[in-house]
Amino acid sequence: MAKRYVSNKDVSIPLFENKLLDKFTYVHPSVPVILYVPVISFFLYRAFFQAGLSIGAMAILFLGGVLVWTLTEYLMHRHVFHFEAKSNFGKYISHLMHGVHHDYPNDSRRLVMPPVVSIPLAFFFYGLFALLMSPGNQSAFFPGFVTGYVVYDMIHYATHHFSMKGRIGSFLTKHHLRHHYKDEELGFGVSSPLWDVVFHTEFQEE
């Protein structure tokens, strides 16, 4: 299904009549790095110095967190951001969450997740992981998950506003832009195409 878009320029439209509320939807791309790198550092410190995990155990748990993030990213993008609501209210919420990005894909001020969304999600997943694993293991797993999120936000911004070089960068850019301009029902992975391959939503080479 070909995707409609309103403007391919770096322009924004107001989402709320209240100007103060609308400002919370604009986020500089440096915000996720500034906000979450200290969080990542704190938990890695706690995993090594307080929980006493070995470097090898930390590496495995950290990479496991990154992997789980890529699955979370895929599932949220496919089933939450692209949820086909029936009611007018549901369609409005869907438009606020993601529809506006497809209408204005190069709006540089709305390419990373706003903290009013990312912080509650971080607390939710922190609590979820706390129920599923020991505090020590969580201290290495959670920063991997958060690192995956920060990398996702940076890649998402780069695919729209930078010319990423190299085989991987070029592939990720092409993969995501095809989701916007060719078929929005395919290519849900932004930081990784892994789960598109697993769930058969990858683009077929022409």
What's the one-letter identity of residue 91? K
pLDDT in tens, 154-180: 999 999 988 788 899 999 999 999 999
In sequence order, the 6+-apart residues with CB closer than 8 A to the CB of 199 are: 74, 78
Cα–Cα nearest to 45, from 151, 145, 142 = 142
| Per-residue model confidence (pLDDT) at position 137 | 97
pLDDT in tens, 92-120: 888 888 888 998 989 899 899 999 999 99
Cα–Cα nearest to 190, from 106, 100, 71 = 71
pTM over 0.75: yes
Tokens matching residue 131:
């129920």
Weakest mean pLDDT among 102-106, 128-132, 192-196: 102-106
Cα–Cα nearest to 73, from 206, 199, 195, 203 = 195
Tokens matching residue 91:
């369609």
pLDDT in tens, 37-90: 999 999 999 999 999 999 999 999 999 999 999 999 999 999 999 988 888 888
Residue ranges covered by each domain of the chain: 29-160
Tokens matching residue 163:
């010319």
Cα–Cα nearest to 44, from 30, 65, 72, 29 = 65
Helices (H), the chain: 19-23, 31-45, 55-75, 88-94, 100-103, 115-132, 135-161, 166-181, 194-198
